[in-house]
């Protein structure tokens, strides 16, 4: 029981999200990390990042333009992670 609680706490702490961070010249960054178990691509957090970026840009009636997307697959003692650099452009 104590092990299960400890694993849940570690899982919650391991989740990280920067939110939308302004960079320079109208570009933004969203970085996310997931406590995804096992090996595989960061599909879930990639979708979350694009949803967050689209919500941010749609406030001004704009669309997301991806500048750079970096993905790290989860693996042994490594969490899945993504880094999305984007800008908001006219639709």
pLDDT digits (tens, 9 = 90+) for 71-88: 998 888 788 999 999 999
pLDDT(29) > 70: yes
pLDDT at 52: 97
pLDDT at 15: 60
pLDDT digits (tens, 9 = 90+) for 31-78: 999 876 678 888 889 999 999 999 999 999 999 999 999 999 888 878
Integer Cα distance of 11 and 34 in angstroms: 8
Q: Please name the residue ranges forming H helices in the chain.
A: 2-14, 43-58
pLDDT at 39: 81
pLDDT at 11: 45
- Structural domains in the chain (count): 1
Integer Cα distance of 55 and 43 in angstroms: 19
> Whole domain around residue 22: which residue ranges?
2-90
What pTM does this model have?
Answer: 0.78
């Amino acid at each position: 029981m104590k092990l299960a609680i400890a694993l849940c706490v570690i899982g919650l702490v391991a989740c990280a999200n920067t939110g939308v961070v302004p960079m320079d010249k109208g570009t933004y960054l969203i970085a996310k990390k997931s406590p995804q178990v096992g090996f595989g691509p960061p599909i879930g957090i990639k979708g979350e990042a694009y949803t967050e970026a689209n919500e941010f840009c749609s406030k001004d009636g704009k669309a997301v333009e991806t500048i750079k997307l970096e993905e790290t697959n989860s693996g042994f003692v490594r969490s899945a992670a993504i880094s999305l650099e984007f800008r908001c452009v006219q639709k």
